[in-house]
Amino acid sequence: MMSYDPENIFARILRGEIPCRKIYEDDFALAFHDIHPQAPIHVLVIPKGPYVSLTDFCGEAPAELIAGYFRAVGIVANELGLNDEGFRALFNVGAHGGQEVPHLHVHLLGGKRLGPMLTKS
């Protein structure tokens, strides 16, 4: 397991050192618009804690934070109206998953029909 880098860009956003287009924040999570949107709605929801990935978070985070984080994901999806027509929730994990930022984040994508889950090559 990769150790957590407190200088990663999402840690810096959480500390307020770098701006973001915030959508929602509570004690457990912060949601903001992705800087390079890949759908009409593309937001990221990150937990307030030093977790690299989904597996790291599920294995190590306190139950209250896990519950609070996933509750926040649902709140954000509802507030953005993503539930009306449907959306995709995506966690990239590690090298094969294409994870670029080593702070757990879920991508919420929607606003149009998204097509197949993986690009066919």
Residues marked as catalytic: 105
- 44: tokens are 């990221």
CB 52 → ligand AMP: shortest distance, Å?
10
- The set of residues, in sequence order, having a beta carbon less than 8 Å from that of 55 and lying 6+ positions away, is 1, 93
53 binds ligand AMP (CB under 6 A): no
Q: Which of 3, 15, 16, 36 binds ligand AMP (CB under 6 A)?
A: 36
Asked if residues 47 and 65 have their Cβ atoms less than 8 Å apart, the reply is yes
96 binds ligand AMP (CB under 6 A): no
Task: Identify which range of 22-30, 59-67, 73-81, 99-107 contacts ligand AMP by CB under 6 A.
Answer: 99-107
Beta strands across the sheet bearing 41-47: 22-25, 29-33, 41-47, 106-110, 87-90
Task: Identify which range of 45-53, 65-73, 77-85, 94-102 contacts ligand AMP by CB under 6 A.
Answer: 94-102
CA–CA dist 100, 108 (Å, integer): 16
Question: Could you tell me where the beta strands, DSSP code E, fall in the chain?
Answer: 22-25, 29-33, 41-47, 87-90, 106-110
CB 104 → ligand AMP: shortest distance, Å?
10
35 binds ligand AMP (CB under 6 A): yes
Site residues (CB under 6 A) for ligand AMP? 9, 18, 20, 32, 34-36, 44, 92, 98-101
